[in-house]
Amino acid sequence: MMYQKLSALVKAVRLRYAVPLVLLLVATYLAVIHPWIVNWGSTATERQMALPGDELHPGPTGHSTQMITINASPDVVWQWLVQIGQDRAGFYTYMWLENLIGADIHNANEIHPEWQTLARRRAPRLEICQAQLAEQAKP
């Protein structure tokens, strides 16, 4: 009998602390972590700019602008971008994660001349947006 009362008290105390802790974690994520993730690497000015590809999604439900600085000319960067793809140089991400779903992707560590042309082809859904953006970004 005493054990049942103690057990109910312990559950009430746990719940009393668990609910505020969960609310604090959610509030921290929404106020600090999420804005940092969706705007990673971009300045306030860059987040307000119209960028190539914005017109591909005329009524977005969300907004994010993530940027990095690449210390290379556009021609050099293009050589790496044009060879992105599942049947080419991979997506330069975590291969283990891509291959976990059976994608059989291997990232390239060098420029391959045979992948330097970008032609329209029947592309998997994963590559459609990438191909549209690449066409717009051609130097």
- Its pTM stands at 0.52
- Which residues are CB-neighbours of 126 under 8 A, at least 6 positions away? 86
Higher pLDDT, 7 or 75: 75
Task: Indicate whether 29 pLDDT > 60.
Answer: yes
Of the pLDDT bands very low, low, confident and very high (cuts 50, 70, 90), residue 54 is: confident
| Residue among 135, 28, 120, 138 nearest 75 (CA) | 138
- Which residues are CB-neighbours of 89 under 8 A, at least 6 positions away? 80, 83, 107, 108, 112, 115
Is the separation of the CB atoms in 68 and 52 below 8 Å? no
Mean pLDDT of 94-123: 77
